[in-house]
Amino acid sequence: VANTIVTKYPYFADPTGKKDSTAIIQKALNDVHELGGGTVYLPAGQYLVTDTIYIPEGCLLIGDWQDPDTVASPEYGTIILAKPAVLDEKYLADRTRDPLFALDTNSSIEGLTFYYPNQNAAAPIPYGYTIHSYSNNTATVRDVTLLNSYRGVGASLVRGDGHCIMQL
């Protein structure tokens, strides 16, 4: 059961990946957080994300995950098309840059496939973490697939401390 479905009123996120959905997804999460927490649902489709999305305390962002080893078609359920907008020399040199998705205390991400279409094995782009928890409390990452991710999933006790206590 979802409190909010981002493809429906009043959000209308684009599930084709052609329009940037970053601000819409963030607004839906913020709205649910202001109501005391709950679930934001991203139906199967492709959602373009170009900047950090913060999952507030007590919020769950959930999609329609499909196991890539058992899926019969080339579709992967809910796909985050990761295209961070800032790729200049300063960005590339900054190892403390924000992740694509940041988890707060008691927040969760479930059922998403993250795909970096601009990543290149011959000349890798050193993106920040795909998912990072800055919380010193519980945060959950479950049933996610990372395609072409550079840093994957990480966690640290304090934001900006540069100390990673867990990396998956």
**pLDDT-based confidence at residue 87 (cuts at 50, 70, 90):** low
- Give Dmax over CA atoms of the chain in angstroms: 46
For residues 38-58, average pLDDT: 95
Give the pLDDT of residue 162: 44
| E strand segments, 30-167 | 38-42, 45-49, 53-55, 59-63, 78-82, 101-103, 107-115, 131-133, 139-147, 153-155, 166-167
The whole-number pLDDT of residue 89 equals 61
What is the percentage of the chain residues whose pLDDT exceeds 70? 79
Query: End-to-end alpha-carbon separation of the chain, Å?
Result: 29
Cis before 10 (ω within 30): yes
- The SS3 assignment for 158 reads coil
**Residue 72 CB burial class (10 angstroms; 0-12, 13-18, ≥19):** exposed
How does residue 46 score in pLDDT terms, banded at 50, 70 and 90? Answer: very high
**Is the pLDDT reported for residue 24 higher than 70?**
yes
